[in-house]
Amino acid sequence: MERKEASGPQPIGSILRQFLKESGLRRPSGDERVFRAWSDAAGTAWKERALPASFRVGQLVVEVASSAHLAELKGYHGEGIRARANTALGEARIKKVVFKLKS
């Protein structure tokens, strides 16, 4: 499949995202461990609806599929998933989880 080249200047963020996607380069392994722990702790009910997006200085950002899921995670399930993920990591690495709607 041939990729179309964009004409004119492009935002550097878009170019970098495309490069990383095509190159197969991944996030640092520490982030991957946190993401995997979150997904495992979330279980099948939340695994596809609440995807980890970034992790920095103890704060995990999780993108959520809908506003109903966002409310349910914030009000009921988020802290339990965070606690199970930290248990799986063997340390309290995830200090805070920020949920946001997937754009």
Give residue 25's pLDDT.
64
Domain boundaries, position 64: 28-101
What is d(CA 24, CA 82) in angstroms, rounded to the nearest whole number?
Answer: 28
Position 62 in a domain: yes
Q: Is residue 11 part of a domain?
A: no
Q: What local confidence, expressed as pLDDT, does residue 4 receive?
A: 57
Is 38 domain-assigned?
yes
**Rounded-to-integer distance, Cα 71 and Cα 44, Å:** 18
Q: Report the CATH number that the domain containing residue 69 is assigned in CATH.
A: 3.30.300.180
- Could you give the number of structural domains in the chain? 1
Say what the pLDDT of residue 10 is: 81
Rounded-to-integer distance, Cα 79 and Cα 73, Å: 8
Structural domain includes residue 10: no
pLDDT digits (tens, 9 = 90+) for 32-83: 899 999 999 999 989 889 999 999 999 999 999 999 999 999 999 999 999 9
